[in-house]
């Protein structure tokens, strides 16, 4: 896992809602007490939160709801973070 700036992670989250080689991204805070996992399978986006909220949700990529839900989950889990640990998996 590598440490990146929260702004870079936010750009990556926005790009994940579009087509690309990255299929799974896991982000952790510095203390590793909050985790957000985003997994893209075809036209479905799966968001798993372990932090302020615990649970899984899935969205279809074709409507704008997936991108909105991604950004909401990101801001909810990392409101005051400056650095995140990031792990990416590609096809």
Per-residue pLDDT tens over the stretch 30-44: 999 999 999 988 888
Are 17 and 25 in contact, with CB atoms under 8 Å apart? no
Q: Which helix (H) or strand (E) holds 71?
A: helix 65-77
pLDDT at 1: 84
Q: What is the pLDDT of residue 6?
A: 92
**Coil, strand or helix at 13:** helix
Residues 65-75 pLDDT 10s: 888 998 999 99
Determine the pLDDT at residue 14: 84
The residues spanned by each domain of the chain are 2-90
Distance CA 87, CA 51 (A): 17
């Amino acid at each position: 896992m590598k440490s990146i700036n929260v702004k870079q992670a936010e750009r990556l989250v926005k790009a994940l809602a579009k087509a690309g080689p990255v299929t799974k991204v896991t982000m952790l805070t510095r203390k590793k007490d909050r985790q957000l996992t985003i997994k893209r399978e075809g036209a479905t986006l799966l968001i798993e939160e372990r932090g302020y909220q615990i649970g899984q949700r899935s969205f279809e990529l074709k409507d704008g709801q997936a991108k909105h839900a991604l950004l909401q989950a990101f801001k909810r889990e990392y409101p005051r973070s400056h650095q995140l640990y990031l792990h990416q998996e590609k096809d």
